[in-house]
Amino acid sequence: MHQADDPLFSTFARANLSVERGEGVWLIDTEGRRYLDLTGGIAVNSLGHAHPHLAQALANQAGKLWHVSNLFEIPDQRRLGQRLVDATFADKAFFTNSGAEALECAIKTARRYHYVSGQPERFRVVTFTGAFHGRTLATIAAGGQAKYLEGFGPKVEGFDQVPFGDHDALRAAITPETAAVLVEPIQGEGGIRAVPDVCLKGLRELCDREGILLIYDEVQTGVGRTGTFFAYERSGAAPDVLASAKGIGGGFPMGVCLATAEAAKGMTPGTHGTTFGGNPLAMAVGNAVLDVVLAEGFLEEVRRTASLFRQGLASLQDRYPDMVEAVRGEGLLIGLKPTVPNGELITALREESVLAAPAGDNVVRFLPPLTITADEVREGVSRIDDALAALRAKRQGAAA
């Protein structure tokens, strides 16, 4: 369709692929071609496409109640909140429709905390280069990436960005106006860059020492993606506030802001709100996701499958040292950095009926469902092998 005739905003550079349905890790297009979906809706389809338990939960709820607003009690909302509290550091939960909204809630929670603590001058949030925190005016300011800020000025005030991994710059950025440090335990959009465990512990100590809050953006890393329920568990450095989304809804729009009771003490009636957040449909699906992810043995299986995937990609790095510069990530949040432009590899993968997503630092992201099987991992590695071989041959032919 010509752009002028397209009824949609031209904000997405969509691939020429029209999908009709999905089954687990597979996507089927309108012509019946099957694709191994290693994109997972960008880490959203945590349990794959059309998972029967999620589909049944949604269908059951759809026949009873869709929406009432937060003027009334929603039993499944309280149930899901309690399950998240029981499984994490948190005491309180606020449900949203997306990750950006969860981050907005987290930022407001931090500012409000200092306001009710008698320190209204503490409103600034320190963030890191390469970060991605969403597309609202506040969250693009927090992320600080020029390509997302261009044309949307003036930039929202209150965010101080420091180089990723620069401890001295971080310490220098803390001032009497600082309210919090906001960090992704693993930068997804930024190129699958993990913050070392020792650094997360150092951040926790720094925030405690300075009397400021530590906020984790686990929109992409949460709900089993890295092999633990949340990525911070690996380090043992719990936050004061955490934003999550994507996988928690398994494909249904949903996010959550989690916080300790102390951090959330300023979030009293009327200070924040949402029309659709925590609606009965989302809560039914969210509870169904936790039924699976928190079941005994599930995360152990995720770790085993992830290890198999990483081993397979490492073997491809050994086989194609001229094509693969690095393999990085945790669990089933995996990045492969090719020596060619990542878009070329993504195109070659699509020709092998494999779907992958781009990331910063020229990385190709693999974000399969947590339910991907060992056989499907082997199939994926085999197809990635074929794509690399075809791309190598193409480039060698062009150079001849």
Numbered residues of the known binding site: 99-100, 132, 135, 217-220, 274-275
Could you give the CA distance from residue 186 to residue 166 in angstroms, rounded to a whole number? 16
Question: For residue 32, what are the CA distances in angstroms to 21, 26, 143, 151?
Answer: 9, 11, 39, 41
Tokens of 172: 């220098």
Q: Which of 230, 246, 252, 366 is catalytic?
A: 246
* Cα dihedral across residues 145, 150, 152, 158: positive or negative: positive
Binding residues for N(2)-acetyl-L-ornithine are: 135, 274
The token pair that represents 336 in the structure block:
């492969």
Catalytic pick among 95, 123, 128, 132: 132
Query: In terms of C-beta density within 10 A (0-12 exposed, 13-18 middle, 19 or more buried), how is residue 53 classed?
Result: middle
Cα 56 to Cα 48, 50, 287, 372: the distances in Å are: 14, 9, 12, 20
At a CB cut-off of 8 Å and minimum separation 6, what does 270 contact?
A: none
Q: Is 217 a residue of the active site? A: yes
Residue 132 falls in the annotated catalytic set: yes
The residue type found at 246 is K
Which residue in this structure is represented by tokens 């878009």?
343
Q: 37, 160, 217, 240: which is the annotated catalytic residue?
A: 217
Report, as residue numbers or ranges, the catalytic residues.
Answer: 132, 217, 246
